Amino acid sequence: MPDQNQVKEKIANLLNQPVSKLEDGAVLTTLVVESFALIEMVIELQEEFGVQLVQEDLKDIKTVGDLTGLIASRSR
């Protein structure tokens, strides 16, 4: 089961940014401005970590920390 840091590393890789620049409080829609790019990232994370999410799961997910926490907690 991955921890949040591993998920964050994957996000950094997908966004082509250094992990050090991805603070837990960074707002996702500010970090990834283009909607389609955000969709792509969320789907890739699910594929990578074997997680299945639905729209309801992301209702309260706003920041990098929210997302890494969700993926890490749901990973099989």
Measured CA to CA, the distance from residue 19 to residue 13 in angstroms comes to 8
User: Stretches 3-11, 15-23, 53-61: which one binds another protein (CB under 8 A)?
Assistant: 53-61
Cβ(28)–Cβ(8) below 8 Å: no
Contact of 12 with 44, CB cutoff 8 Å: no
Q: What are phi and psi of 75, to 5 degrees?
A: -70, 140
Interface residues for another protein in 18-47 (CB under 8 A)?
Answer: 35-40, 42-44, 46-47
CB of 53 to another protein, least distance (A): 5
Closer to another protein by Cβ: residue 3 or 40? 40
Based on the shown chain and the rule CB under 8 A, indicate whether residue 72 belongs to the binding site for another protein.
no
Rounded-to-integer distance, Cα 12 and Cα 40, Å: 14
Footprint of another protein on this chain (CB under 8 A)? Answer: 35-40, 42-44, 46-47, 52-55, 57-58
